Amino acid sequence: MKLIILDRDGVINFDSEHFIKSPEEWKPIPGSLEAIARLNQAGYRVVLATNQSGIGRGLFDMATLNAIHDKMHKALAQVGGRIDALFFCPHTADSRCDCRKPKPGMFEEISRRFSVDLTGVPAVGDSLRDLQAAAAIGALPILVRTGKGEKTLEAGSLPEGTLVFTDLADAVRHLTISIA
């Protein structure tokens, strides 16, 4: 089974320093939905792993998060794409949970649920914590320059072996060409 793990905000959709708090605020980055459809067509199972501390902060509730994800799923379906599973951490940065990236808890749960070793599995993110969570479990960290990606790249200290691409569409072109 081919698997890929994607962060949401800054990778699939535009991010906001004020959080994505409603379906109206969720806007896909050009080419990202088509990139996911291309992954599906190439036989990848596409899994999301996203920190959603806005829940823990009281900025939105589960019904709103579900509505945001419903909008994303419908937009993907319109271009022939799908997300196979969605994992999220609702906790704030000061919580001691194991699921909030950069900790690898969400990745460990993905590994258990899909009964797969994540060594070498591509994991795409725009922040250092995304890359650190991927590296901690042996996945292949991939940085996109969208969202916080440019600042993450400028800050340096990327995990060893991190690949860097302009956006999700660019990363997917590389992945689907290199496995063809």
Taking the domain 10-115+129-178, which CATH number applies? 3.40.50.1000
- pLDDT, one tens digit for every residue, the chain (180 residues): 899 999 999 999 999 989 999 999 999 999 999 999 999 999 999 999 999 999 999 999 999 999 999 999 999 999 999 999 999 999 998 988 999 999 999 999 999 999 999 999 999 999 999 999 999 999 999 999 999 999 999 998 999 999 999 999 999 999 998 654
Beta strand 122-125 pairing with 140-144: parallel
Rounded Cα–Cα distance for residues 89 and 111 (Å): 16
Rounded Cα–Cα distance for residues 147 and 9 (Å): 7
Rounded Cα–Cα distance for residues 29 and 137 (Å): 28
Does 9 participate in catalysis according to the annotation? yes
Which residues, other chains included, contact 114 with Cβ-Cβ below 8 Å and sequence gap of 6+? 1, 3, 45, 47, 85
- Domain spans of the chain, in order of start: 10-115+129-178
Answer yes or no: are the C-beta atoms of 55 and 90 closer than 8 Å.
Answer: yes
Instruction: Tell me, yes or no, if the pTM score tops 0.85.
Output: yes
- Write down the catalytic residue from 7, 15, 126, 130: 7
> What angle in degrees, to the nearest 10, is found between the helix axes of 168-178 and 32-41?
20
- Write down the catalytic residue from 9, 15, 126, 167: 9
